[in-house]
Amino acid sequence: MRYAIQRFWATLLTLAAAFVIVFFIVHLVPGDPAAIMLSDLSADRQAVEDLRRDLGLDRPLPGQFLRYLSRAVTGDLGFSYRSQRPVMGEIAAIYHQTLLLALGGILFAVLIGIPAGFLSAAYRNSWLDRFCMIGALSGISMPVFWLGILLIIFFSFQLRLFPTIGVGDPADPLDMLWHLVLPALSLGLRGAALIARVTRSSFLEILGQDYIRTGRMKGLSEAVVKGKHAFRNALLPIVTVIGLDLGQLLGGTTVTEIVFSRSGMGTLLIESVLARDYPMVQGTMLVYLLVIILVNLLADLAYGLVDPRIRYG
């Protein structure tokens, strides 16, 4: 319990620091939002100044920060400069697409990575071990956008098994899942490669422990020794990697959404940066950071569930 409270306060401090950094970095981006918003209207300088005043951009930066902070603590992230709609409303309307893509990616990463690492360690130095590790090295080395393009060429253009772009029909869950397969697979293959390597390393380390040799000496089968005793004790570093990987997948959905023309937080963030839509950029980045920090917190707390022997002082 004490460890959980300590991690909770550390999470709050991390989130507060991220809040400050995001706000000031966004305002350091070159470009005037008011000038960009009025560029198509050939507006004069006075019109730009009037709009800056209406948006509150004429105030000193610390004053803008305090005003934004006072609203953010109540859940109000302001209004988008482009659409004039609440930032939270726009994020809430689209975030499920990004979350679904990230969860699909981590599902593929776990379903591919853990069995590959387990088999690689169980049959060390065999052709299966070499095949899995070459695949893992290839997955880590290849960029996400390149994997996405290869999957589109092979599974969409050549085999015609999966759709190429879009999120599918919102009224048809099966169609949405069918559109999700290739983006989630391209996003998850890199994570699968990392999980496979960590699983293999952790599993081999456990297999060298004395209690594993004792189990074999007592006549336990290899399936019981490796599948029951060794595998569970090898899970701790794997849980860590999965938690970190989910955070990375959430941050890496932008490229995947662009390659597969999917709507989501990534595309919303890119469009907002180009338009200098400060409230939307800040809102999307804060939501990303909040989820990543919470995922890491849950991964830390999951240690005790994976191995009840762990106690935090």
The residues pairing with 79 across neighbouring beta strands, listed in sequence order, are 86
pTM: 0.76
The whole-angstrom separation of Cα 299 and Cα 13 is 18
Compute the C-alpha angle 284/189/97, nearest 5°.
30
- Report how far apart, in Å, the C-alpha atoms of 244 and of each of 195, 198, 239, 240, 249 are: 11, 13, 9, 6, 9
Average pLDDT for 245-270: 80
Residue pLDDT, tens place only, 61-104: 888 888 888 888 787 888 887 888 888 888 888 888 888 888 88
Give me the domains of the chain, ranges plus CATH numbers: 2-72 (no CATH), 94-306 (1.10.3720.10)
Measure the CA dihedral 160/166/168/169, to 10°: -130
Residue 162 tokens read as: 């999966």
Q: Cβ distance 267 to 255 under 8 Å? A: no
pLDDT tens, position by position, 270-287:
888 887 788 888 888 888
**Radius of gyration for the alpha carbons in the chain, expressed in angstroms and rounded:** 24
Reported as a single tens digit per residue, the pLDDT across 141-187 is: 888 888 888 888 988 888 888 888 888 777 888 888 888 898 989 88
Contact 188, 112 (CB under 8 A): yes
Task: Please give the C-alpha separations between residue 80 and each of 47, 216, 303, in angstroms, as whole numbers.
Answer: 19, 64, 40
Q: Are 197 and 133 in contact (CB under 8 A)?
A: yes
Residue pLDDT, tens place only, 9-38: 777 888 788 888 888 887 777 767 766 666
